Amino acid sequence: MGGDARWKLRSFSLGVEGELRTHQWSSSVARFKIGASAGYSCWQRRLHFSLDYAYLMKHPAEASSPLVLYHRHRLSLSAQLSHKAGPCKLAYRVRFQATFADTQREAPRFNPTLCLRQRLAFSFSPYVRPLKFFASLECLLPLHRPDRLYVNQLRAVLGVDYRLSRTQTLRFYLRNDNEILTPNPQHILYLGFCYRFEK
């Protein structure tokens, strides 16, 4: 579950977001995230650049206690190119991110971890408002290990937006994370919702 808010001023935008993930329908926390972003759009809003910061608390899979949370700081720089044709929109985003671990609480092998993410997204807004359907596929390429420069994770999302008003939207989505080409790969299915405010 999560929420985000975004304010636009001509070609510039500012945003804040928060997200909470839990383990298998339980109350134990898998990850907590808060973040902020600044963006700039040009070429009639077809091209968008964004700089993001996020603070994360993540529960490690090997920890026996649900109270153990590792702290992370993440910086991201992204560019997105989109094209809209009638009720359809196609967007391609490339994002470079660096995640820094708290070395006082743990001793990570790599710090920071670097990743290149590429996402292709499609959305359809039927003429019967206020619904918008969307789907996306994203691949993650880790960059901090020169000996393993290959895509190791795929993320697929399928969802729908329900517009409450001109500035408020509820989002419901199904997300599937799949690790590939790694020992003991994980396959995780998420069911989520998000409140969005945009002005």
Q: Please tell me the predicted confidence (pLDDT) of residue 67.
A: 65
Q: Can you tell me the distance from the alpha carbon of 120 to that of 125, in angstroms, rounded to the nearest whole number?
A: 17
Q: What is the mean pLDDT of the chain?
A: 90
Mind listing the pLDDT tens digit for each residue in 100-128? 998 777 777 788 999 999 999 999 998 87
What number of CA atoms fall less than 13 Å from residue 194's CA on the CB side?
A: 22
Q: Please tell me the predicted confidence (pLDDT) of residue 119.
A: 98
3-7, 31-35, 104-108, 170-174: the lowest-pLDDT one: 104-108
Q: Please tell me the predicted confidence (pLDDT) of residue 170.
A: 97
Determine whether domain 2-198 maps to CATH 2.40.160.
yes
Mind listing the pLDDT tens digit for each residue in 53-94? 999 998 776 655 666 788 999 999 999 999 999 999 999 999
Q: Can you tell me the distance from the alpha carbon of 71 to that of 115, in angstroms, rounded to the nearest whole number?
A: 18
Query: What is the separation, in whole angstroms, between the first and last Cα of the chain?
Result: 21
Q: Can you tell me the distance from the alpha carbon of 40 to that of 186, in angstroms, rounded to the nearest whole number?
A: 36
Q: Yes or no: say if 39 and 49 are a contact pair by the CB < 8 Å rule.
A: yes
Question: Position of tokens 């470079």?
Answer: 96
| Top-confidence residue, 194 or 108 | 194
